[in-house]
Structure 1
Amino acid sequence: MIDLIAKRYVKALLDGKDLNQVTAVCDELNKISSAYADEKFVSIIASSEVTNSAKVEFIISLVDNISTTTTNLVKLLGDNKRLDVIPFIFHELKNQISVLNNTYTGVVYTNKKLDSSYV
């Protein structure tokens, strides 16, 4: 369910933007998403004692020179009480950028060591 919500936001982010702008937004979302690994950060975001506007300002303060697109996205997510979707939006956006660039990441398992020329 949360993946479907993330896909809608990613679709809106990709609409009418060039690849450089989208990549910059993805980098900013990566910085924000990495904060979700911290339990204190997650407890602040999930807390009902902290106002949504304070949560939004806190998230925006994590990135220096944040773009207006990312700022507006975080504010929109805060208004809709969907700040917990940010890591999913980042992963989906990263996947869509990979599709646009026609690059894919994978893991190869073998029973013997591969020469560096194969990789």
Structure 2
Amino acid sequence: MLPRAVRIYAAVEPCNLRKSFEGLSNEVRSVLGRDPLSGHLFIFVNRRATQTKILMWTRGGFAILHKRLERGRFQFPAKVVSGRGGVEIDVHELSALLEGLVESQTAASARWSPPLPAPTDA
């Protein structure tokens, strides 16, 4: 479970996953137009959609989660279409992506969630 304040951004176009911390953080800035130090999750998939890397900033530095499928391909939600730099997905879509679930095969009921607190200016 992720805190509600954490957003999940997926790069729509394939990425060279040989990149490490600096390369992926540059992708976050240039492709997704986001700040890699924000604490949000940033997902990248290779061209064949058999591997994914998730970049995140924690209190002390960057962390990368790398997953490779032995069989099959990662399936993005239908709202992730090419031609856009990136798209925000929710935690359920991330879970389905990492577990290899196909959106058309899953059905979930709508759930209520409280609104996010308004940001405060310090």
Bucket of the pairwise TM-score, normalised by the shorter protein: 0.3 to 0.5
- Structure with higher strand content: 2
> Relative CO higher for 1 or 2, CA cutoff 8 Å, sep ≥ 6?
1
- Structure with higher helix content: 1
Return the TM-score normalized by structure 2: 0.32
Give the number of the structure whose alpha-carbon radius of gyration is greater. 1
